[in-house]
Amino acid sequence: VVGILDYGLAKVADLKIKYVISPAVSYGSPITFVEELNPGPEKMSEAILRMVPSVDDKIENVDGKTIYSGIIQVVKFIHKRICLQNGSWVRCFGRLTWPRISELIISNFLSKVVPEDASKLADFQKIIDHTSEFEAALKEMMFISASDNKDARLSNFAENVEVHFASRKKTEILAKARNLLLQCDFAVPQESTGKDPICKNDGMAVDSSEHVVDLLFMSERCVVTKAASQLMKLVHQILQDICLSSTRVAFEFYHAARDAILLYEAIVPVKLERQLEGINQVAVLMHNDCLYLSQEILGFAFEYHSDFPSSIKEHAVFADMAPRFHLMAEEILQRQIQIVIFNLREALDGADGFQNTHQIQQFESAKFSIEQVVFILEKVHIIWEPLLLPSTYNRSMCTVLESVFSRITRDILLLDDMAAEETLQLQRLIHLMLENLSSLLESLAAVNQKGKTEGDFARPLDDLIPSLCKFRKLAELLDMPLRSITAAWESGELLSCGFTLSEIEDFIKAIFADSTLRKECLWRIENVPL
């Protein structure tokens, strides 16, 4: 009957898998098989294979021996009682059932006993031995092929346990990295919101928070998010494990380290998309995070590469990732600067080009615009100064101030007619703004002076904000006599402040009525060799 059925045995095989094999390989539920022979008429007997729950419920399939012996009993019964020890029939039955049997064993047993720690890999050898013996017994009964390596699925899996271990660890690492990035609220640490959270006057560190980190190649410290610091701790642990691992495990861990870092790039910008659209501490912290990650990535080669397994040293490279995070940091910073400049421009638009400020309503409107600008700049100062590196803060704030001073100076110089009272009101507005920004400018000068002593950004503040000198000089020009303006141009003073010939000429024409003196002064200005 078996010979006639041939592959019609498929239904029988399905039932065997469902009702016999599947319960037998259920991890933690040991089952034993008992064969019974019932004598029948005319020397015929009936063979019955009974499934019996294990007498000892405490038996665990730790090494697979119980599972393997039960399946061998089932296969022996099929081999002897159903296929009558006919090799071709047994092989046919094996081809129908072995792929699913092996998959059940892998998913229900072998994959669940893969060690969770590298130190326990050696203990897995007993399971490898039992697995090899199990497959050898099946080959002897011709249930699986003795020559086709594809049938040795269980041995291949067990012998590659290092890879499975590393694969599981990689999955766990990435899940942990993903969770900490998703769960972090990116709040500013309370101890890091003060004026100087990093150093005392004597240079000693006062903040031992895990969020204040060293930048390896910049000799500076900065505040980062909990997500970035914990992510980097996780990556450092992976790299330490690489140094102690075999080649196959090390390769998996190497890719896990890279992927964990790249998760920051994939998750955080999307998570913080709304915050990045405004002026806030979160955007500044993300800039710091990216800068910190880029520095740490560059340091991996110096800290770990020499201890990596020799076979992966050539391939385990991280330096290619550093520029992308450095670029992300700069893009976030530039985006913040542009948002600030946009808000400042909107505020200055309310001044309507500083026209007719001798009229009360126009003056009040211009004054309100100046107050808005000061408010925005103070807000930016409060957000940026405690978190950005001093050099970055200095450069960024100077860029923002340059946009303000240049815009106001340009608007005033574009006025084609100014009454005497109007010039005084404009001068008053300039003085008001400089007075309100005095503390901010002093703090920038202090940061700049500190940079000089440390050999960093040693340029004068007027060089960093070119329009500042021009802005201050414009306040003087607004009530300066015509001859004095002419003399200032001839001496080169106005030129050194950034004024152009056409600007001075138009300024004189806007303030002073046409006269012989004006013509003389304009002629003198035009004929000054530049």
- Neighbour count for residue 12 (Cβ, 10 Å): 16
User: Which alpha helices (DSSP H) does 125-160 contain, by range?
Assistant: 125-140, 153-159
Structure confidence at residue 209 (pLDDT): 42
Question: Which residues, 6+ apart, have CB-to-CB distance to 217 below 8 Å?
Answer: 295, 298, 299
Structure confidence at residue 38 (pLDDT): 83
The structure's pTM equals 0.72
Ordered DSSP codes for 209-260: -TTEEEETTTTEEEE--HHHHHHHHHHHHHHHHHHTS-HHHHHHHHHHHHHH
Q: Which of 165, 416, 188, 141 is nearest to 288 (CA)?
A: 188
Q: Which of 439, 286, 318, 328 is nearest to 377 (CA)?
A: 439
HSE value, Cβ hemisphere, 13 Å, CA-based, for 140: 9
Structure confidence at residue 459 (pLDDT): 65
Distance, CA of 321 to CA of 323 (rounded, Å): 6
**Segment-wise mean pLDDT, segments of 10 residues, the chain, 530 residues:** 66 86 74 83 80 66 79 90 85 90 90 75 79 92 88 86 83 94 74 43 37 82 90 94 85 94 94 89 93 94 90 89 95 95 95 91 94 95 92 93 95 92 94 93 80 55 88 94 94 93 94 93 89
Domain positions in the chain are: 1-158, 184-188+211-329, 351-449+458-464, 480-529
Structure confidence at residue 330 (pLDDT): 96
Structure confidence at residue 525 (pLDDT): 93
